Structure formats: structure tokens, C-alpha cells
Amino acid sequence: MPVNPEIQGRQYPPTPPYLVGREKVREFARAVQAEHPLHHDVDAARAAGHADVIAPPTFPIVIQQLTWNQLLDDPAAGIVLERIVHGDQRFTATRAIVAGDELTGQLTVTRVRSLGGNDMVTCETRVTDAAGEHVVTATSSLVVAGEPA
């Protein structure tokens, strides 16, 4: 089944709040070889004016993946995990994510188009904090391979 073009414009419900843990920030930072003290050292982060350690710039992918799961779980969308290739990715931030943040992501499918037998799905996840303020928007293009004939 190809990707359903009617999902263009569809918005999924906001994900339940994700509490950003200090050790999760450190774990993610180690995984992307991020050694800056603001990711690891609470005293250094506080001295720089942050409430706690701050997350690497690509950490919002953790929240975005939760919203991708909604898309994959939607039988009407016709998107199968095994057929997805990540085409591009962008993060546009208002502020850095800080340990202690409670984040919610809301995904909107902004575009669906066919491209030589494949489908390109562009989606945008808007990440907000407990106060409802914008933190970062994660935008991705997913290339969904067509089924073999």
C-alpha cells in the first residue's frame, strides 16, 4: 500500500509529557561524543545560568520519535517502518532543552508527494514545555520506498 496522500495536513494529538532526566541527558551526550561540560556538569550549567545540564542539539529526536510512532501506528497512513529511509532532518530551537523539562511533541504531516515510485513524507514536530512555550521544532523528510512490483 502506498502512503495515503490524504494524510497531508493531518495533525496528531500531543504526546504525553516526557520528563527530561539528568542522566538521560548525560547518556545521550556520551552517545553522540558530546564532551562539553554544560551537558555533564550541573555546577557548570548553573554557573552559566541554566537550571540543570542542557541537552545536545539533536536530543529533540527522542521526542520526535515518539510522534513518528503515532504516524506508524496509524493504519490509514500506510507507512511501514522497514520501508522508511531518513531523507533529511532539521532542528529549529527557541532555547536549549534542560534536564527537568517536561516536553510534549505534536506532529503535523506537512507534505506527501510521490517521487519515482517512492513517497516522500515531510513532517514537523513542534516541541513545547510544561508552560506551553515553544522549545524546538523538528522537521524531517522520510522517504518511504514503494512496494516491489
Position 27 contacts other proteins (CB under 8 A): yes
Site string for other proteins, 61-80 (x = CB under 8 A): xx--x---------------
Position 20 contacts other proteins (CB under 8 A): no
How near is the Cβ of 89 to other proteins at its closest, in Å? 6
The grid cell for 88 is 533529511
Position 127 contacts other proteins (CB under 8 A): no
Q: 3 and 71 in contact (C-beta within 8 Å)?
A: no
Residue of the chain from 10, 91, 110, 120 that contacts other proteins (CB under 8 A): 91
The grid cell for 17 is 509529557
Binding residues vs other proteins (CB under 8 A): 24, 27-28, 30-36, 38-39, 48-50, 54-58, 61-62, 65, 81-82, 85-93, 95-96
